[in-house]
């Protein structure tokens, strides 16, 4: 990255190995602007948590430099870094009350009693937990503990807050609610947040930018809409959101586009994103909601793909139709449940339509399902 | 949906549920029954028996019924002199007891309270036959040969005449004692002292001619010719200790069937006729040993905590595979016999032992100032801390393992130095382990026996060694039981205090 000088947090050529053989983080370069909400997203074992721990100071980088506000922090112990952190299990001290938990960071900073009280009350107000100061963490629900953990990371007003899968233990509804709360807090306080998660929805909803990790490398660093709509490689395409992949071989280049011969001998045109030469194997990525099953709904210049309906799933607001295209039995089409939308029958042959700019020709790297889940 | 049938069947349904529940309960009961019975027989009953023994004191009044009965109304003080009648009762009691050797047991029992009584009773038991009763039996039997037969005495004892009440009583007691101790047979002859009792009964009454007075008529002339036996003189001739008010005082104090005497002895008090008194300083022993036991147990617990805490911390923070390996090292001592380990400490700690030799060889101490490391408190504390250390480490380890590293990380990220993070976040969470380990080590050590016995010498022994001494050497089981009960009470009291302070719910053993 070239903005080493103006990033608030900068990872520069950082590597990390635990056993001296395998690099968990390979040459990480990342610059985070002040006030930014950056999410590190990736499957487990991708190195994202290690990056966070290195930033917090609980792990040391094997190589490279981490800068905070322009100063290298490799040799600064964690308690002097002034970084707030929210842990996956909240790590609220069970032997202290909520108020004592919140006072703790202020006490170790030798703040005056009245200031401590003022700040604790303020931060409790902020997370709407004013009445719970005297409870113990064990007496709170998961969501309440989450808020207190958040409040504790913010009470000493750090400029950088790290969050390590903070919503992982909550149920779906609460998680969605907390996502918005965290996002709003971030907007209100203007702190820089580095957020680690393996949940892509969470990453897309909350972040300014998302760094998708795999295999110790940032696969793509982009705004959520870019990541979803314009993935750089097939890992990102498959990891973020639902994705259909069609295998094929490149026949010819045509400006920004390539013609790809699918394994059922059909040739389709796709945006050339991550392909280099004719004859190369490629994976074409198409989002399920960018495919139409009915000719009259297709845009004029849509190209046609032939497939066989295998399954029709009614999901209320949408229909999911599973279609065999070439060798791919898992080609999903998502259609909105509108009155005129046709309900396809299994066994029926269907002509699918999609724009060639929605077909992205990417590298031929098939990511296993386990990694994705 | 409710039909008539099911309404009718409700009662039987209820019964069915009850029956199936009862079967379940019986099955559960059957599963715990073997252990329950085992504990009941080998644990609860013996403990109850020991607790009972610590207050039980029936022997004295059983063996010396007449003496103790007479003493009830006596006021014994410095100038008191035992009256003649008392010796008469003592003579009969002891004459009966001697025949079945019970006098030595009473002697030993009273000897716990006043030394010398045991030998006094033995001596008296040996010479009581020579008090002159044989003259009576000879003379009376000559006059009335049927008296030599036990059958005549049987008849006599079945009579109802008030005149021979004392004789009858004595005869019956004598017979009962013989039977109880398997000394009774068809050939048993009436004992000499019975003739003295009979003569006494005859002598002390007016001859009532309206009754069958042939016996009295026959015997009275003989009896009046026989010399009167001065029992007081005879007893005092045997041992002049019988004139001591102290001896009688002791017998009187320990006449009741139940006594607090053992407990008073256990806390260095002496039972006296005017209430318990603290013993003179040179006779006090048990309070010192109790406080020493407490002090050493606390010291051992602290030493174990100081040594064990870092080890447990280290183990808890190791990756699991290494932790298990080191845990085996911690448990290794358990694979060796306790006796062997203690003996090993003897080898290491003694005056010419390995440690002293090394210290001398390295010049840290001179040959003349070898350290006294064994046969004193130091030895006991060193050896027992080593032996009890695993009991501290294991609960600490199991509690520390549950303290997630993120707590300390969180504390550090909030700005706490490593020391503050430990002191305010890690340490408080490890307190349940400290509590469990401490209470385990403390309770184990307060009742420890083998190690202090082997390496404790005289200054490093525990109350349990004293209890063992009374159970197996001095055979003063009552005192042993009282000491044991006090130990049990102390442990329970400490447990209660501990529960109030720390809360027993906070204790985690694993």
What pLDDT digit, counting tens, does each position of B171-180 carry? 888 988 888 8
* Domain shared by B48 and B67, yes or no: no
The pLDDT-based confidence of A16 (bands split at 50, 70, 90) is very high
Q: Name the DSSP class of B229.
A: P
Question: Which of these, B351, B363, B367, B381, lies nearest to B461 by C-alpha position?
Answer: B381
In angstroms, the separation between the Cα of residue A210 and the nearest Cα of chain B is 24
Q: What Å distances lie between residue A227 and A41, A202, A211, A232, A246, CA to CA?
A: 11, 13, 9, 8, 19
User: What is residue A1's predicted lDDT score, i.e. its pLDDT?
Assistant: 42
Read off the tokens for A227: 């990541």
Does A93 contact B at CB distance below 8 Å?
yes
Is the pLDDT at A4 greater than 50? The verdict is: no
Q: How far is A370 from chain B (nearest CA, A)?
A: 26
Q: Do B410 and A94 touch (CB under 8 A)?
A: no
State the pLDDT at residue A371. Answer: 61
pLDDT tens-digit profile of B7-25?
A: 556 678 888 899 999 999 9
CA-to-CA separations, A351 to A245, A291, A308, A360, in angstroms, rounded? 17, 10, 9, 19
Kindly state the tokens that stand for A50.
Answer: 């290690």
Per-residue confidence (pLDDT) for residue B213, from 0 to 100: 58
pLDDT higher than threshold 60 for residue B211? no
The pLDDT value recorded for residue B508 is 61
Q: Is the pLDDT of residue A3 over 50?
A: no
Whether residue B238 has pLDDT greater than 80: yes
Residues B15 and B98 in one domain: no
Q: Do B161 and B206 belong to one domain?
A: yes
Q: What does residue A39 show for φ and ψ, rounded to 5 degrees?
A: -110, 135
**Is pLDDT above 60 for B209?**
no
Q: Cβ separation of A104 and B424 shorter than 8 Å? A: yes
Question: CA-nearest residue of chain B to A162?
Answer: B413
Binning chain A into helix, strand and coil, the percentages to the nearest 5 are 30, 35, 40
A98 neighbors A37 (Cβ within 8 angstroms): no
Number of structural domains, chain B? Answer: 4
Q: What is the 3-state secondary structure (H, E, C) of B124-175?
A: HHHHHHHHCHHHHHHHHHHHCHHHHCHHHHHHHHHCCCHHHHHHHHHHHHHH
**Per the CB < 8 Å rule, is A77 touching B424?**
no
CA B78 to chain centre: 32
C-alpha B287/C-alpha B293 separation (Å) is 10
Q: How far apart are CA B444 and CA A216, in angstroms?
A: 54
Mutation choice for A interface testing from B402, B414, B431 by most A CBs within 10 A: B414
**pLDDT tens-place string over residues A147-179:** 999 999 999 999 999 999 998 888 888 888 889
Choosing among B413, B426, B502, B505, which should be mutated to test the A contact, i.e. which has the most A CBs within 10 A?
B413
Could you give all domains of chain A from N- to C-terminal order, each with its CATH number? Answer: 9-229 (3.40.50.300), 234-372 (2.40.50.100)
Same domain, residue pair B460 and B366? yes
Question: By residue range, what is the domain housing residue B19?
Answer: 4-53
B360-373 mean pLDDT: 88
In a domain, B356, yes or no: yes
Q: What pLDDT was estimated at residue A364? A: 85
Q: Is the pLDDT of residue B112 over 80?
A: yes
Residue B272 lies in a domain: no
ipTM of the complex in this document: 0.83
The answer on B493 and B453 residing in a single domain is yes
pLDDT confidence band for A372 (50 / 70 / 90): low
CA distance linking residue B498 with residue B506, whole number of Å: 11
The answer to whether residue B394 scores a pLDDT higher than 70 is yes
Backbone angles phi, psi at B416, to 5 degrees: -80, 140
Are A219 and A235 in contact by the 8 Å Cβ rule? The answer is yes
Q: Is residue B273 part of a domain?
A: no
Alpha helices in B40-148 (DSSP H): 45-53, 59-63, 65-71, 84-99, 102-111, 117-127, 133-143
- Residue B276 within a domain: no
Average pLDDT over residues A82-107: 93
Smallest CA-to-CA distance from A163 within A67, A53, A239 is with: A53
What CA–CA distance (Å, rounded) separates A83 from A53? 11
B266 part of a folded domain: no
Residue B286 in this model has a pLDDT that exceeds 70 = yes
B188 and B41, same domain (yes or no): no
Q: A111 — contact with chain B (CB < 8 Å)?
A: no
User: Is residue A104 within 8 angstroms of chain B, CB to CB?
Assistant: yes
Which long-range CB contacts under 8 A does B221-228 form with residues at least 24 apart? B222/B139, B222/B140, B222/B142, B222/B143, B223/B136, B223/B139, B223/B140, B223/B199, B225/B139, B226/B135, B226/B136, B226/B139, B226/B199, B227/B132, B227/B135
Task: Judge if B67 and B46 occupy the same domain.
Answer: no
Pairing of strands A217-222, A209-214: antiparallel
Q: Give the residue with greater pLDDT, A296 vs B405.
A: B405
- What contacts A168, CB < 8 A, 6 or more positions away? A88, A197, A199
Q: Kindly indicate the confidence band of residue B28, based on its pLDDT and cuts at 50, 70 and 90.
A: very high
Q: Report the percent of chain B where pLDDT is more than 90.
A: 41
Return mean pLDDT, chain B.
87
Mean of per-residue pLDDT scores for chain A: 89
Does an H or E element contain B277, and which? strand B277-278
Instruction: Give the confidence band of B72 by pLDDT, cuts at 50, 70, 90.
Output: confident
User: Confidence class of residue B466 from pLDDT cuts 50, 70 and 90?
Assistant: very high
**B278 in a domain, yes or no?**
no
Q: What percent of chain A has a predicted confidence (pLDDT) above 90?
A: 58
- Do B412 and B355 share a structural domain? yes
Each residue's pLDDT tens digit, A234-253: 999 988 888 999 999 999 99
Q: E strands, chain A, where?
A: 9-17, 23-32, 37-41, 63-68, 71-72, 83-86, 160-164, 192-197, 209-214, 217-222, 244-254, 257-262, 267-272, 281-286, 303-314, 318-325, 328-336, 349-354, 360-362
Q: Which of A68-72, A369-373, B415-419 has the lowest average pLDDT? A: A369-373
| Of the candidates B212, B380, B358, B352, the residue with the CA atom closest to the CA atom of residue B295 | B380
Tell me, yes or no, whether B314 and B443 share the same domain. yes
């Amino acid at each position: 990255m070239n903005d080493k000088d103006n990033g608030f947090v900068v990872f520069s050529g950082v590597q990390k190995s635990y056993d001296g053989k395998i690099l968990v983080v390979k040459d990480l370069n990342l610059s985070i602007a002040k006030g930014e909400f950056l999410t590190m997203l990736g499957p487990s074992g991708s190195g994202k948590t290690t990056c966070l721990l290195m930033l917090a100071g609980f792990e040391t980088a094997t190589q490279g430099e981490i800068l905070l506000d322009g100063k290298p922090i490799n040799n600064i112990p964690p308690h002097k870094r002034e970084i707030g952190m929210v842990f996956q299990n909240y790590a609220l001290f069970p032997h202290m009350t909520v108020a004592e938990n919140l006072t703790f960071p202020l006490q170790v900073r030798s703040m005056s009693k009245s200031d401590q009280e003022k700040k604790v009350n303020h931060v409790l107000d902020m997370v709407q937990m004013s009445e719970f100061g005297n409870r113990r963490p064990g007496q709170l629900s998961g969501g309440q503990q989450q808020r207190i953990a958040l409040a504790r990371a913010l009470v000493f007003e750090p400029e950088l807050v790290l969050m390590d899968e903070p919503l992982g233990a909550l149920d779906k509804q609460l998680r969605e609610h907390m996502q918005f709360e965290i996002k709003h807090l971030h907007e209100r306080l203007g702190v820089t947040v580095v957020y680690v998660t393996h949940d892509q929805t969470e990453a897309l909803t909350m972040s300014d930018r998302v760094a998708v990790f795999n295999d110790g490398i940032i696969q793509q660093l982009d705004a959520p809409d870019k990541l979803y709509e314009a993935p750089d490689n097939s890992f990102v395409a498959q990891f973020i959101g639902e994705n259909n992949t069609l295998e094929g071989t490149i026949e010819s280049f045509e400006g920004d586009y390539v013609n790809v011969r699918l394994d059922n001998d059909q040739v389709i045109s796709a945006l050339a994103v991550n392909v280099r030469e004719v004859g190369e194997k490629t994976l074409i990525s198409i989002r399920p909601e960018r495919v139409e099953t009915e000719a009259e709904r297709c845009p004029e210049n849509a190209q046609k793909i032939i497939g066989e309906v295998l399954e029709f799933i009614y999901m209320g607001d949408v229909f999911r139709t599973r279609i065999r295209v070439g060798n791919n039995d898992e080609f999903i089409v998502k259609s909105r449940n509108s009155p005129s939308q046709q309900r396809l029958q299994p066994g029926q042959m269907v002509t699918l339509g999609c724009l060639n700019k929605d077909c992205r020709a990417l590298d031929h790297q098939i990511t296993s399902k386990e990694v994705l889940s | 949906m409710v039909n008539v049938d099911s309404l009718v069947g409700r009662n039987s349904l209820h019964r069915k549920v009850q029956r199936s529940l009862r079967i379940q309960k019986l099955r559960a009961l059957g599963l715990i029954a073997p252990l329950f019975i085992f504990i009941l027989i080998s644990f609860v009953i013996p403990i109850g028996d020991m607790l009972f023994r610590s207050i039980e004191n029936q022997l004295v009044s059983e063996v010396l019924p007449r003496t103790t009965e007479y003493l009830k109304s006596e006021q014994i003080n410095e100038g008191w002199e035992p009256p003649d009648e008392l010796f008469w009762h003592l003579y009969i009691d002891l004459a009966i007891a001697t025949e079945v050797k019970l006098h030595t047991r009473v002697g030993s029992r009273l000897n716990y309270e006043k030394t010398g009584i045991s030998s006094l009773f033995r001596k008296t038991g040996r010479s009581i036959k020579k008090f002159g009763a044989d003259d009576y039996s000879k003379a009376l039997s000559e006059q009335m040969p049927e008296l030599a037969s036990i059958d005549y005495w049987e008849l006599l004892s079945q009579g109802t005449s008030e005149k021979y009440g004392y004789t009858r009583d004595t005869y019956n007691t004598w017979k009962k004692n013989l039977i109880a101790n398997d000394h009774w047979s068809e050939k048993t002859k009436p004992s000499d002292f019975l003739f003295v009792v009979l003569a006494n009964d005859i002598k002390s009454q007016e001859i009532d001619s309206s009754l069958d007075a042939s016996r009295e008529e026959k015997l009275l002339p003989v009896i009046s010719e026989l010399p009167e036996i001065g029992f007081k003189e005879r007893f005092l001739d045997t041992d002049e200790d019988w004139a001591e008010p102290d001896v009688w005082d002791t017998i009187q104090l320990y006449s009741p069937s139940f006594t607090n005497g053992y407990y008073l002895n256990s806390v260095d008090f002496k039972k006296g006729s005017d209430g318990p008194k603290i013993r003179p300083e040179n006779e006090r022993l048990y309070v010192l040993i109790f406080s020493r036991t407490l002090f050493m147990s606390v010291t051992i617990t602290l030493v174990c905590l100081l040594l064990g805490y870092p080890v447990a911390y280290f183990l808890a923070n190791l990756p699991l595979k290494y932790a298990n390996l080191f845990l085996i090292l911690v448990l290794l001592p358990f694979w060796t016999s306790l006796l062997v380990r203690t003996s090993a400490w003897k080898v290491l700690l003694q005056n010419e032992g390995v440690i002293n030799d090394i210290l001398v060889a390295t010049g840290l101490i001179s040959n003349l100032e070898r350290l006294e490391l064994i046969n004193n408190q130091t030895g006991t504390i060193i050896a027992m801390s080593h032996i009890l250390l695993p009991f501290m480490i294991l609960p600490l380890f199991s509690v520390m393992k549950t303290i997630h590293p993120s707590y300390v990380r969180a504390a550090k990220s909030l700005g706490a130095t490593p020391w503050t993070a430990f002191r305010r976040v890690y340490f408080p969470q490890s307190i349940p382990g400290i509590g469990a380990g401490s209470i385990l080590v403390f309770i184990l050590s307060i009742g420890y026996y083998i190690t202090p016995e082997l390496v404790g010498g005289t200054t490093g022994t525990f109350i349990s060694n004293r209890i063992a001494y009374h159970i197996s050497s001095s055979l003063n089981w009552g005192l042993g039981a009282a000491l044991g009960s006090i130990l049990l009470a102390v442990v329970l009291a400490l447990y209660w205090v501990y529960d109030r302070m720390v809360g027993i719910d906070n204790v985690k053993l694993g």
